[in-house]
Structure 1
Amino acid sequence: MDVILKLLFSSETMELYILDCLAYIMISMAFLTFVTLLFENVPYGRYASSRYGFPVNVKFAWFVQELPAFLVPLCLVFFTSASRTSHLPNQLLLCMYFCHYIQRSLIYPFLIRGGKSTPFLSFLLAIVFCMYNGYLQTRYLSHYAEYPSDWVTHPFFISGGILWLVGWVINVHSDHILRNLRKPGETGYKIPRGGLFELVSGANFFGEIIEWAGFALAGHSIHSLAFAIFTMVVLSCRAVAHHKWYLTKFEDYPKSRKALLPFVF
């Protein structure tokens, strides 16, 4: 892996510069994605369309598209000169990242019940993003990120770590609720009940946004911030689309629920 990186980058200074550029590109992508999603829903699930390519089995799609977000970082941590992995702040931040993607790539896909196929274009773009972001986050944390020795006791790190944990729990619990909406043999959509779904339509999205916002606060870098911004843009647009769909689909949908932010929006 080190050989490949040396072929791609003439020096560590150049690689760090590229990592910074990738972070700013991701922020730009977030803006462009926001504009696009004002006119078009993300083509997956209930919004899937044949014009975005042939359908891919949902379990297969989730497993394959999320796997690079785990495998690429795994290779970067264990098969390169990851000089910063011996430092506690870097270790904890990498653990946050891996904890999410172990669940998302190795556990979540195999718990899916039913679900509509994923259009090939969405599947392909997800693979590219997971490789892109996996490299960006992990390479910076494992080889370049420098924190004070007492960073783990800093208010930014502590509050960010708490936010990450709360968001992760909300995200996993909300996915559990959605997975169990239908009894075996049942089909069709139902109104989510329980947990944070009593307050917002996009409880799972809210949890993941909080999770990566906490990661960005604890990581205190443009790289983690870029990921948090991109996540917020994509998932907030999904939450709004879901909320509008629920209100149209179900006459008895709770009118007190908000789209994403409890009591606010």
Structure 2
Amino acid sequence: MHWYTGNTTYDTILTIAFGFAAFVLIGGLFGQSPYGRFATAKLGFNLNPKLGWWLMEIPATVVFAVFYLTGPHRFEGASPVLAAIWVLHYANRGWFFPLSIRQVPGKTTSFNVSVLGMGMFVTCVHGYLNGAMFSNDYLHRYSSAWLTDPRFLGGLVVYLCGFALLVSSESIVRNLRDKANPGATEYRIPFGGGYRFVSSPTYLGELIAWSGFALLTWSLPGVVILLITAGNLVPRAFATHKWYRDKFPDYPADRKALIPFVI
């Protein structure tokens, strides 16, 4: 199969990734991934959320590192900068975020093992496609000149805006739960930051960040992760919005689900 890079293995895995993205986009129309407030034990046992999130995200660090560091152009041109953006994202997503979760002591019911399995598949494929792409430069795009290309510069701005929204929104939610007594309150209404406008600014930040990533890399692996993220998070954002409205009678009436002032 030679349709994108000319590398049979790479192009085959990329095709599989697009197929999985289609599965997620269609599946998101029928239900939410069983973690957090939508967790269920119907699809198998559940895990400690700290452990579940860490195990799910760790392949994005490990697999990426393996394929990036074995590529011939790993220290050339734009490749180290692209790798640094990756490290920035997964230092937060794969390490800081899961280890900083303030969970109810002893709780093991909010991260289903089915989510772990699918999530690890995504992060393995995601890590391989980008690690191999950056360090092999199959498309002969990532020379030093790429760092001044409008697509890279514009995408970087979009990515950083999304990442900032994501991190700040996660901090707001994390601080709703008292660090000294994390079991005191299960759920509360978040306020401030992106929560002034939408119920799920973390999801919005993630979508903006991956949109920027797709632009700054100008590659199909970036499109794949954006599609998978959208298929998972867009329906979940609307379900979360409804969940908040049903649970809290005093929930802000002017707050939208995902896009400020729109929907």
Q: TM-score, normalised by structure 1?
A: 0.88
Equivalent residue for 1:71? Answer: 62
Equivalent residue for 1:138? Answer: 131
Equivalent residue for 2:103? Answer: 114
Question: Following superposition, which runs of at least 4 residues in structure 1 exceed 3 angstroms of deviation?
Answer: none
Structure 2 residue 218 is the aligned partner of structure 1 residue 220: yes
Percent sequence identity over matched residues?
Answer: 35
Structure 2 residue 98 is the aligned partner of structure 1 residue 100: no
Equivalent residue for 1:18? Answer: 9
Aligned residue runs from structure 1 range 139-218, under 5 A: 139-145=132-138, 146-147=140-141, 149-183=144-178, 184=181, 185-218=183-216
8 Å CA contact 1:177, 1:193 repeated in 2? yes
Measured in 2, the distance between the counterparts of 1:40 and 1:91 equals 39
Equivalent residue for 1:61? Answer: 52
Equivalent residue for 1:127? Answer: 120
Equivalent residue for 2:252? Answer: 254
Measured in 1, the distance between the counterparts of 2:200 and 2:11 equals 31
Q: Cα 1:257–1:27, aligned 2, differ >3 Å: closer, same or farther?
A: farther
Measured in 2, the distance between the counterparts of 1:142 and 1:187 equals 46
Q: Cα 1:110–1:149, aligned 2, differ >3 Å: closer, same or farther?
A: closer
Deviations 1:154-175 (A, max 9, x none): 2111010011111111111111
Return 5+ residue gaps in structure 1 as ranges.
Answer: 1-12
8 Å CA contact 1:166, 1:210 repeated in 2? yes
Measured in 1, the distance between the counterparts of 2:235 and 2:77 equals 35
8 Å CA contact 1:158, 1:218 repeated in 2? yes
Letter in 1 for 2:74: T
Letter in 1 for 2:76: H
**Could you tell me how far 1:38 is from its partner in structure 2?**
1.6
Measured in 2, the distance between the counterparts of 1:122 and 1:231 equals 14
Measured in 1, the distance between the counterparts of 2:16 and 2:124 equals 15
8 Å CA contact 1:34, 1:237 repeated in 2? no
Measured in 1, the distance between the counterparts of 2:52 and 2:244 equals 25
Measured in 1, the distance between the counterparts of 2:162 and 2:77 equals 22
Measured in 1, the distance between the counterparts of 2:244 and 2:110 equals 20
Return 5+ residue gaps in structure 2 as ranges.
Answer: none
Measured in 2, the distance between the counterparts of 1:144 and 1:17 equals 15
* Secondary structure class of the residue paired with 1:88: coil
Measured in 2, the distance between the counterparts of 1:215 and 1:224 equals 6
Deviations 1:31-57 (A, max 9, x none): 322222222111111111111111111
Measured in 2, the distance between the counterparts of 1:263 and 1:87 equals 44
Letter in 2 for 1:52: L
Measured in 1, the distance between the counterparts of 2:155 and 2:86 equals 13
Q: Which has the higher helix share?
A: 1
Deviations 1:113-157 (A, max 9, x none): 016431111112211211111111111111134225422112111
8 Å CA contact 1:20, 1:222 repeated in 2? no
